[in-house]
Structure 1
Amino acid sequence: MKQSKILVYLSLLSFIVAIGMFAYLVNASKALSYLSDNPKACINCHVMFTQYQTWQHSSHQGVATCVECHLPTDGFFAKYLAKAKDGFNHSVAFTMGSYQQSIAISQDGANRVQANCISCHSNLAATLVDNAQNYHNFKNPTEYNDRWCWDCHKEVPHGRVRSLSATPNAIGIREWHQK
């Protein structure tokens, strides 16, 4: 009887410690910020400083957030499924240090960004398709479908900067992480 009481107390203590550690990890990693649309959530990991800084000084800064460009905009479920998938992949890459100095977008991410570019700029995209033979050096109208928007618009919205060391004194980032 006394031994089973000890097991119950140890089990309860283990459970409380596990809950405490989970709460600490959620707080330390700012995990709840990832549920928001705030672009500052994207700089919780230092590897995104360059992307945040260049976006902050771009033409898109006042009209589109990271979420509006990089995640599906066609529904709650699709958006949070993509956030969960990307979040898992990012946490593995950042924890293991398996990302490159120059971060590249995944194929799935590129497809989402392309769809969002076309969605936001639908009038322009329709004009390009209608006039493909006259503009953008297309040999035929179907060639338009095989190109990314950023094949031509390379500096939108992240500029030319593509590495972790490119913006070492990024304004606004230090203040965010000192809070």
Structure 2
Amino acid sequence: MKATGIVRRIDDLGRVVVPKEIRRTLRIREGDPLEIFTDREGEIILKKYSPIGELGQFAKQYADSMAQTTGYIVAISDKDQFIAVAGSVKSLLSKGISRELESAINDRETIIASSDDKNFIRITDEDETEFTYQVICPIISEGDAIGSVIILTKDPKVKFGDTEVKLASTAAAFLGRQMEQ
């Protein structure tokens, strides 16, 4: 744990203000749910709550199955980071998503693009991997956009089409329904 040097007092209603700089850095907005943890030393830990994070193991198995069947890279994200990755770029796991990807999720956009297209987006802020094609489909649960299913390839000979869009859409719809149960 890293100290920030910021001290806040609890008000008479038991509230503590999380400083704006920390909220901005962690992408915490008004209304975002936070999970509260305590440890044996009496520390209180606030963590941004990810509803799809509860499906972590299940999402990993789903991504692994899709990657094995298709030969593509499959990544599943919540609105902050990748929670499951299968294929040749496991380094994406637990990395933060890019603001462009977050925006696409919030806008409920399904994107199919080659790296030459203007609508091709970086999926992480540190995205240095040369993907040639991508399909991004938002995961919707109870009317809320909560994450995305992403299918990627580095093979310049491969062109994605309706089949890949339907695969990502099916996976996103299935994961969204799992969250509703």
TM-score range, shorter-chain basis?
0.3 to 0.5
Bigger Cα Rg: 1
Provide TM-score, normalisation by structure 1: 0.35
Q: Point out which structure has higher relative CO (alpha carbons under 8 A, 6+ apart).
A: 1
The structure with more helix, counted as a fraction of residues: 1
More strand as a share of residues: 2
